[in-house]
Amino acid sequence: MKLALFIFSLFVILPAQAEWKKLPVDLELEVAHLAKTLSDGYAQFYPEYAQYKEFKALHYKTTAAVLFSLGGWGGGNTNNQYFAIYGENERLELNHPHKKYSLIAFIQAGGKADRYLEDLAILKDEFHFTGKGYGFNDSLCCPTENIKVTFKLNNRGLVELPANKQINKD
């Protein structure tokens, strides 16, 4: 049974594990707008570190899972990591400009002294991240514990699933 689930996961999970890509200009502008809204006026968005993966969901042409950070809260060296979902809108012939991307949902997903998310596998409406968390003796610069975190997109936005509801646990 475990072998069958493993083989099934190769066909379902792995195709959505494409490499992270640099944000296209239109999407970067939308993420920068969200970052400015979230910032305390000191925290900065670093577009060169923002990344995304495309997938198909809802009624959008394509959908983008975006991972980005804001750093420098309160003028210090703290940072927060955010996970956002954007939908690419269809172009309608209505003789006026349209936004290429619409924000669907976002959540603070990590940050300094919490955890850092690194890679993402997408399975329908679930987003399975791996990353690093802080062990008992870790300094703030360098988390060493391997972690897995799953978010689900539902009608209320992105919610983190409890650890016992996540797949691929060690």
CA distance 123 to 21: 18
State pLDDT tens for residues 12-62. Answer: 333 445 789 999 999 999 999 999 999 999 999 999 999 999 998 778 889
Annotated domain spans of the chain: 2-165
Q: Which residues of the chain have pLDDT under 70?
A: 1-17, 92, 95-97, 164-170
Q: What is the pLDDT of residue 42?
A: 97
How many degrees, rounded to 5, is the angle at CA 94 between CA 88 and CA 96? 80
How far, in Å, are 11, 97, 143, 166 from residue 84 at the CA level?
Answer: 25, 24, 23, 19
Q: What is the pLDDT of residue 90?
A: 82
> Which residues are CB-contacts of 104 (< 8 A; sequence separation ≥ 6)?
58, 63, 84, 85, 86, 87, 153
What pTM value is reported for the model?
0.83
Q: What is the pLDDT of residue 97?
A: 65
Q: What is the CA radius of gyration of the chain?
A: 17
Q: What is the pLDDT of residue 166?
A: 58
Q: What is the pLDDT of residue 7?
A: 34
